[in-house]
Copies of this chain bind each other. A is one copy, B any other.
Amino acid sequence: MASRSVLTTQCLFSIARRSYSSNVDKNVAFLGLGNMGGFMAANLVKKGFNVRGYDPSKEALTAAAKDGVKGANSIAEAVDGVDAVVSILPSNKVVLDAYLGKDGVVNSVRKGALLIDSSTVDPNVPKQIFPVAINKGVGFTDAPVSGGVMGAQNATLAFMAGGRKEDFDRSLPLLKAMGAKQFHCGEVGAGQVAKLTNNMLMGITGMATAECMNMGIKMGLDPKVLLDVLNNSSARSWSTEVYCPVPGLVPTAPSSRNYDGGFKNELMVKDLELASGMALGIRSPIPLGAVATQLYRIVQSRGYGQKDFSFVFQLLKEEGETK
């Protein structure tokens, strides 16, 4: 499958090149050099791209410089003349300002460039940016990621992209430099929809694993035996196999390192709130998603927003021990 995918890509890429009358996109601007972006920009440098970066934090710029990322003083300066822009930013508002602001990406980038936003935001955000970009002769794709900080560091991220097929194909050399999987999910915004759907389902399944493991253990089962049964039965999932919320059963899971270094609870809350808003807008029923959102929020309100989202197991466990 990998080889076929490469062939397809080359084929479509040459079309893309023609339609944009450009060579390979070597000169790249990277916006947002935080936990994720820092590693992603560094991977682009490693794969031979020329990367100019921007972040409001001086520390982030200094750190990125060590990885070979040239610093810029503003978005406009960063994107000036580049072939492509990659961004990963924290919120709807920051993304909209960065792209559509007066000195933002769309106004400052050259015609024919390709814009790739890997932020996780409301699907309406890329839908607002897309027509403005297209109108200026610039390509745009929303391409949020799954895989966390580890995936960013090891270039094993999964990208879920939305937008025109030609832009997706053109983005592949860049996405492949930063990750292991690339999905073209549909029209613009589809990447966000896929990402939010995945994360809501992961959030519910993870919490369900926590509450059921806790129940079985409280009933006297050996945690290892229970997990073995689940992993060999119809209740198995990524959460039981890879990310078990009970400490000590899966050595590489965040639960086994004090719930540090995983997908932060506060980010899970953010994604569930975005997904909830999306569901509300189309009147799609999410009975379990709604309850899970409330409970992850409670974990956050108790001060554990920085812990991995599987920390909810500890909340449920403690609750059972009350009185």
Interface presence of A5 (CB below 8 A): no
Q: Are B209 and A201 in contact (CB under 8 A)?
A: yes
Interface presence of A185 (CB below 8 A): yes
A24 to B242, CA, bound (A): 41
Residue numbers in B under 8 Å from A220 (CB-CB):
186-187, 190, 193
Interface presence of A101 (CB below 8 A): no
**Distance of A204 from chain B, by nearest CB (Å):** 4
Q: Are A208 and B211 in contact (CB under 8 A)?
A: no
Select which of B205, B208, B293 is within 8 A of A289 by beta carbon.
B208
Q: Are B197 and A287 in contact (CB under 8 A)?
A: no
Interface presence of A246 (CB below 8 A): no
Interface presence of A277 (CB below 8 A): yes
Q: Given A183-B228, A290-B294, decide whether A275 and B205 contact each other with a Cβ distance below 8 A.
A: no
Q: Given A146-B234, A209-B201, A238-B236, decide whether A284 and B218 contact each other with a Cβ distance below 8 A.
A: yes
From A105-113, A131-139, A168-176, A300-308, give the one contacting chain B. Answer: A300-308
Q: Are B282 and A320 in contact (CB under 8 A)?
A: yes
* Per-position binary interface string of chain A over residues 214-233, scored 1 when its CB falls under 8 Å from any chain B CB and 0 otherwise: 11101111100110111011
A277 to B273, CA, bound (A): 11
Residue numbers in B under 8 Å from A232 (CB-CB):
158, 181, 183
Q: Are B323 and A211 in contact (CB under 8 A)?
A: no
Q: Are A294 and B302 in contact (CB under 8 A)?
A: no
Q: Are B283 and A287 in contact (CB under 8 A)?
A: no
Q: Given A218-B284, A221-B194, A292-B288, decide whether A204 and B204 contact each other with a Cβ distance below 8 A.
A: yes
Select which of B146, B219, B276 is within 8 A of A233 by beta carbon.
B146
Interface presence of A41 (CB below 8 A): no
Q: Are A212 and B237 in contact (CB under 8 A)?
A: no
Residues in A281-323 with C-beta less than 8 Å from chain B: 282-295, 297-298, 300-302, 305, 315-316, 318-323
Residue numbers in B under 8 Å from A197 (CB-CB):
212-213, 215-216, 219, 221, 226, 229-230, 235
A138 to B295, CA, bound (A): 46
Known: A194-B229, A297-B319, A302-B302. 9 other contacts (CB 8 A): A193-B221, A197-B229, A197-B235, A199-B234, A201-B212, A215-B284, A235-B238, A290-B294, A291-B291
Q: Give 20 pairs: A residue, B residue, CB < 8 Å, sorted on A.
A: A158-B233, A183-B232, A185-B229, A187-B220, A190-B220, A194-B216, A197-B215, A197-B230, A198-B230, A201-B235, A202-B235, A205-B208, A208-B208, A208-B288, A211-B286, A211-B288, A285-B297, A290-B291, A291-B291, A305-B322
